[in-house]
Amino acid sequence: MLTLIDRYIIKKYLSTFTVLFIMFIPIAIMVDVSDKVDKFLERKVPFDAIVGYYLDFTVYFANLLFPIFLFISVIWFTSKMANNTEVVAMLSSGISFSRFLRPFMISAGIIAAFGFFMSVILVPISSRGFYEFKYKWLKRKDTSRETVNLYKQISPNDFIYSSSFDLEKKRANRFTLEHFEDNELKIKLTASNITWIEEDSLYRLRRYTKRIIGPGDDIIERKREHDTIFNFDLEDLTPNNYTAETLSYTALNKFIKQETMRGSSNINRYLMVKYKKWSLPFSAFVLTVIAVAVSSIKRRGGMGVNLAFGIIIAFTFIFLDKILGVLAQKSGMEPIVAVWLPNIMFGILAIYLLNNAKR
């Protein structure tokens, strides 16, 4: 059962977090507008598209800086309680530090649930709008896809290759499809290019050659132009590198399984998106413990010292998360290690600070 003190702390925690969120989002939007207004005017971006972009930007930005909002809000109101000797009064009344920490952890649980809801429901929807606007209006060239030297496995027995891919024309150049049975090449199909003909719902291959490899002589079929149907979509063969961020959790698992089979070079990025849906909410508990341990002690420098320390810790957490993310994508570092290592490192720091605060 929650006591009066519990309800007081939970109310302070959630209200401070909400106010900080409401304050920072408009500032972030104004900074972003000032940076992009020239491009908006130059490219004549429709007003309704800009409004939609900033609605998506709000969710995307909030999810990105979730640890900072949480950490600073706890540092702020806990330091204020310490300066008003409220913390001393609570602990002097016989409440243990662990019991004092309980309402903070309940509040962290509420924030973590909110963060998980955002990452699973809201963030995928907003990420799609955010990235589509970015590559449509703000980037002169779409660099979100692999478009050269595409080699994919499309089924357990079929592999395809293309030297280049044109998304607008739905055309792949120097196309090859190889079919294997019992690790032996049985059919090889080549074409100078393959184009999706939307009105006929088929693929058109030019300078088409099909070789059926037999025990004796091979069977070779050549045509200047050949129409056929394949069980793949050209666009699916080169998904956006941000596709994983726009999918629900169930769809994301299916997408990762499919891209793993296809040998995607972005698989580590996709796995990190999946693991972060769990690690980010968990960070709410770790950062809350650190913030309470640091700010519950009244210091000579007042709230300023605690806030400065809090901002440094929060930005260090995000910086470490980004650095490890790059390492996971560019090197052999396991994505699950890259995602959870900040929580593990700061969790150890939280335990150390908490033991000191109890003394």
Determine the pLDDT at residue 295: 85
Count of alpha carbons within 13 Å of 70, Cβ hemisphere only?
30
What SS3 state is found at 220?
A: strand
Cα separation, 126 vs 52, in Å, equals 9
Cα 238 to Cα 151, 223, 264, distances in angstroms:
10, 27, 9
Q: Can you point out the beta strands (E) in 282-336?
A: none
What SS3 state is found at 224?
A: strand
Contact 9, 103 (CB under 8 A): yes
pTM for this entry: 0.83
Instruction: Give the burial class of 24: count Cβ atoms within 10 A of its Cβ; 0-12 exposed, 13-18 middle, 19 or more buried.
Output: middle
Cα 286 to Cα 178, 190, 277, 319, 346, distances in angstroms:
51, 56, 16, 16, 7
Residue 326, Cβ neighbours under 10 Å: how many? 11
Contact 13, 100 (CB under 8 A): no
pLDDT tens string for the chain (359 positions)?
788 889 999 999 999 998 888 888 888 899 999 999 999 999 999 999 999 999 999 998 888 888 888 888 888 888 888 888 888 888 888 888 888 999 999 999 999 998 899 889 899 999 999 998 988 888 866 666 777 888 888 888 899 889 888 877 889 899 999 999 988 899 999 999 999 998 888 999 999 999 999 877 888 999 999 999 988 877 667 777 788 999 989 999 999 998 888 877 788 989 999 999 999 899 999 999 998 988 887 766 667 777 777 778 878 888 898 899 888 888 778 999 999 999 999 999 999 888 887 66
